[in-house]
Chains A and B, each alone.
Chain A
């Protein structure tokens, strides 16, 4: 059963805490992406990775960090430096960055208490 998974579905965090969102894919895609979506807004790119051990900042990388140690996994850490982290986070993958279609996970809704 191929696809892209994210966990957890809902996540609650206290102010000042770091939290890590999981993203896994078994599509054998090289490229992976993290987006943030706020209510009534489009998707904004946080980070992307073209290949293992490589990643690039997107439009809103401040307060976030990522790693890409395995092809299948691209976890996102929301640090305490992120001033307004409450949002819906979407992970996506594509065959390559230059490939047109992105495949999305189901999302993680992060709420800061």
Chain B
């Protein structure tokens, strides 16, 4: 079974709005990563947050991690049409080094 599950499955917003997507996971983790996938392309690594970190920023991206709730969120501020993509969280289940990926959140940003 998958370690991480993203929510919502789909998100549709207007350009300039913020987009928030969430990831819940099942077992204890060392780190959690977020990836982006444009339609029909490979995944691109966005950001990694370690289990001892609570928040991390990269440009317009903000990631939070709550290990007590086994959840993470990805916030994209001031979204652009070019942010339209699927976003995946990935984290290794306990005892493994290899991350498992959720089903992703499909984000559509309307110009």
> Chain A residues near B48 (CB, 8 Å)?
100-101
> Chain A residues near B35 (CB, 8 Å)?
104
Shortest A90–chain B CB gap in Å is 6
The answer, yes or no, to whether A84 is at the interface (CB within 8 Å) is no
Per the bound structure, the CA–CA distance linking A5 and B41 in Å amounts to 12
Pair A48/B42 contact, Cβ less than 8 Å: no
Query: What does the 1/0 interface line of B28-69 toward A look like (CB < 8 Å)?
Result: 000101010000111111001000000000000000000000
- 7 interchain residue pairs of minimum CB distance: A104-B42, A43-B101, A42-B101, A104-B43, A42-B103, A98-B97, A106-B42
Write the residues of chain B forming the contact surface with A, with a CB cutoff of 8 angstroms.
Answer: 2, 31, 33, 35, 40-45, 48, 88, 97-104
